[in-house]
Structure 1
Amino acid sequence: MNSYNVIGLMSGTSLDGLDIVLCRFTYENQNWIYNILNATTLLYDDYWIDSLRDCETCTGRKLIALDHEYGKHLGQQVKVFVEQHKIKADFVASHGHTIFHQPDQHVSLQLGHGAYLAAHAGLPVVCDFRTLDIALGGQGAPLVPTGDELLFPEYDFCLNLGGISNVSFSYNGQRLAFDISACNMLLNALANEAGLAYDEDGRMAASGKLHQELLEQLNAPAYFSAPYPKSLGKEWVLENSLATLQAAAIPLADKLHTSCHHIATQIKLALPVLHQRRQKILVTGGGAFNKYLVTLLQQHLGDRYLVVVPAPEVVSYKEALIFAFLGVLRWQEQPNCRRTVTGAATDSIGGAIYFR
């Protein structure tokens, strides 16, 4: 086959909701072409927000039960999506919702069991994209660089401003990628303290003031100067960046303002100069809608870089799109995880398949 209709599922660490996309991928003239045919975000209710946020402290038995229950929930949502839009799909590719990510301890768990998803969606499912890479000694993350390279070749950098910011780019003929810093996990947690789901357009952050001491504390952890491959998990963010913010006795708007400077600073430090011409940066993820953060990022980077925010559907659904594409590569038994990105012993074909 050279054309696939795939449903991609993505749930990010910021708990914004479940992204569902129907994508068509076509292989023509040795290039992959994508089309987003239908897309939606299903907001989590209080039950799923509480369950997904707090389950890292529950018992093993409860965690297994929740894994199955969430897989059933994903399958049910896919079934509704298919019926409402009269969709025909070849299979589902699901990232799941990350609960643990500690690759140095060979631990990474994405909730949403593929068997339960397949059983309730009535479709084959590709899932569990990280485990094989970790078994091969890799970080199991980031996973999107293969999709970045094959679907968005016109950009020098692909920057995702999700719960955690990450970047991928080609350097000396190799695709490289790594997590940069916490992003929306910080901004949304602070906005929640003001009773908001998020800081719309970064207005509250824009109204605050920069606190140099707090900025230095946020920039201090050794992770930021460590070489890649490297990746971040929720646990690290809670123990470092969020703990630092919680300890700061300054106004909330100032914390948001300083956090945006921290995020922009780390991105600037992370991006190498690849060539002399102006370098194009594709910016996606929820943070791309934060106008203050995007403006600040362009200011930090200067004229050598051009920050490009694409159409809203690409901003919102790029990760779900790419996991759908990683599912296609798994289906074709083509490598979808790069050792140059994760530090694994070899490239690998990640993903478990469940047939309905």
Structure 2
Amino acid sequence: MGKTVTAIGLMSGTSMDGIDVALLRTDGETIVDRGPSAGYTYDPAFRARLKTGLDDARSIVKREERPGTLADLEHELTLRHADAVRGFLHKNNILSESVDVVGFHGQTVLHRPDEALTVQLGDGDLLAQETGIDVVYDMRANDIAHGGQGAPLIPAYHAALAHELSKNGEIVAPAVFVNIGGISNLTFIGWRDEIVAYDSGPGNTLIDQWVEAHAGIPFDQGGMIASEGSVMRELAESYLSHPFFSAEKRRSLDRNDFAPPSGEAASLEDGARTLAHVTAAAIIRSAQHLPARPETYIVCGGGRLNPVIMRDLHMLAEAEGARVVAAEALRLNGDSMEAEAWAYLAVRSRCGLPLTYPGTTGVSRPVSGGRLARKPSRAESA
């Protein structure tokens, strides 16, 4: 068992809505003492710049390239993360000197694992300089280099949480953590702590793109738009019959792998309702590739706040003999879990412990990863 340290995790996900920050005390193994967390929302102008960055990123061939707006965008993104860290520390009366490491995810702008290519914007050296804290970043690259999909990385943290919940009798194995972010992913924890994980399909990204295009708002808050619509079965099945769901090999997804419907395909309400159903049904359909039928689904990520998605997920899981619980029902934080995971993974990286496994990303063997950016020495910062 390693030394327990204090880590901060930073996550800016595929929904591109802002930065989640969370603090952990952990040894990177079995000790997980969760601290405060916070979210810092991007303004609409910066979100628009991030979307432009996705277009610029399509021309990347080597992951170090930063064509078009990407170099400037990476610089500003990193400074915004530094501001988030400083604001978080100030709000919680925490000295930067008391934090051992920051786990910095950055912003994914391109993810093509079949081409051994994944690009997360984020300058670890600049963040270490700005915050005065060591930074572990670029945590997906080593997995890709060893034949993995580069995602999902959160399962190692899910396993630590599941171990504690099982020990306390709060969940029954096999259990599945479901993260409904822009893309949804599953982490299966079996009877003997077996871990299997993979992306399960579109999460919020299709709904977000649909309502932004047709209503000019970034997301369907509380599922209010979807609640006024009806499921268009033919449209739903056009998504659920995608080869992704039936393929023997699980692969990770980019937000561009599934596109929203054309404008004339549905009304605003019916489109949102149908896509909410697709989000829930994709989870259950992808769960058919798990080693055993889950007893419990633990739901985290922004999608758990959409009651329409959750109702469909409850109904579909119940038909399979499983129960669905939101993370908060188990005293977990469904908003900050990914940020917590990045703090946990940063500590594992510093200890040389595996971040990914053959059962989680398809990597050839368990591998560690991440690059370490050292904080400036006192002489440098004087």
TM-score, normalised to structure 1, is 0.91
Answer yes or no: is 1:77 the counterpart of 2:73: no
With over 3 angstroms needed to count, the CA separation of the structure-2 counterparts of 1:261 and 1:175, relative to structure 1, is: same
Answer yes or no: is 1:16 the counterpart of 2:17: yes
Alpha-carbon contact 1:71-1:115 (below 8 Å) kept? no
Q: What does 1:1-356 align with in structure 2 at a 5 Å threshold?
A: 1-25=2-26, 32-58=30-56, 60=67, 62-87=69-94, 88-153=98-163, 154=166, 155=171, 156-171=175-190, 174-192=194-212, 193-237=214-258, 241-242=259-260, 245-272=261-288, 279-302=295-318, 304-311=321-328, 314-356=333-375
Q: Quick one: distance in 2 between partners of 1:206 and 1:68?
A: 40
Query: In terms of mean alpha carbon deviation, does 77-86 or 258-267 score higher?
Result: 77-86
Alpha-carbon contact 1:75-1:119 (below 8 Å) kept? no
Alpha-carbon contact 1:19-1:317 (below 8 Å) kept? yes
What secondary structure is seen at the aligned counterpart in 1 of 2:118? strand
Identity among equivalent pairs (%): 30
Partner amino acid for 2:77? Y
With over 3 angstroms needed to count, the CA separation of the structure-2 counterparts of 1:225 and 1:172, relative to structure 1, is: farther
With over 3 angstroms needed to count, the CA separation of the structure-2 counterparts of 1:101 and 1:258, relative to structure 1, is: same
Q: Quick one: distance in 2 between partners of 1:314 and 1:280?
A: 17
Q: Quick one: distance in 1 between partners of 2:77 and 2:17?
A: 16
With over 3 angstroms needed to count, the CA separation of the structure-2 counterparts of 1:73 and 1:201, relative to structure 1, is: closer
Q: Quick one: distance in 1 between partners of 2:91 and 2:231?
A: 48
Partner amino acid for 2:125? A
Aligned-residue offset at 1:313: 6.2
Partner amino acid for 2:162? F
What secondary structure is seen at the aligned counterpart in 1 of 2:236? helix
Q: Deviations over 1:84-136 (max 9, x none)?
A: 32213111001111100001112111111111111111110011110011111
CA RMSD in angstroms, aligned pairs only:
2.1
Q: Deviations over 1:146-187 (max 9, x none)?
A: 111122233510111110111011358541111111111012
Alpha-carbon contact 1:139-1:229 (below 8 Å) kept? no
Query: In terms of mean alpha carbon deviation, does 172-181 or 255-264 score higher?
Result: 172-181
Query: In terms of mean alpha carbon deviation, does 343-352 or 151-160 score higher?
Result: 151-160
Query: In terms of mean alpha carbon deviation, does 336-345 or 166-175 score higher?
Result: 166-175
Q: Deviations over 1:56-89 (max 9, x none)?
A: 3336163233223322321232123223322131
Q: Quick one: distance in 2 between partners of 1:78 and 1:201?
A: 28
Aligned-residue offset at 1:343: 1.5
Aligned-residue offset at 1:247: 4.9
Query: In terms of mean alpha carbon deviation, does 131-140 or 194-203 score higher?
Result: 194-203
What secondary structure is seen at the aligned counterpart in 1 of 2:327? coil
Q: Quick one: distance in 2 between partners of 1:123 and 1:12?
A: 22
Unaligned segments of structure 2, at least 5 residues: 57-65, 376-382
What secondary structure is seen at the aligned counterpart in 2 of 1:152? helix
Q: Quick one: distance in 2 between partners of 1:266 and 1:275?
A: 17
With over 3 angstroms needed to count, the CA separation of the structure-2 counterparts of 1:309 and 1:129, relative to structure 1, is: same
Alpha-carbon contact 2:204-2:279 (below 8 Å) kept? no
With over 3 angstroms needed to count, the CA separation of the structure-2 counterparts of 1:228 and 1:172, relative to structure 1, is: farther
Alpha-carbon contact 1:182-1:263 (below 8 Å) kept? yes
What secondary structure is seen at the aligned counterpart in 1 of 2:225? helix
Alpha-carbon contact 2:356-2:363 (below 8 Å) kept? no
Alpha-carbon contact 1:73-1:117 (below 8 Å) kept? no
Q: Quick one: distance in 2 between partners of 1:189 and 1:65?
A: 25
Length, aligned pairs only? 347
Partner amino acid for 1:252? L
Alpha-carbon contact 1:214-1:248 (below 8 Å) kept? no
Q: Quick one: distance in 2 between partners of 1:40 and 1:170?
A: 28
TM-score, normalised to structure 2, is 0.85
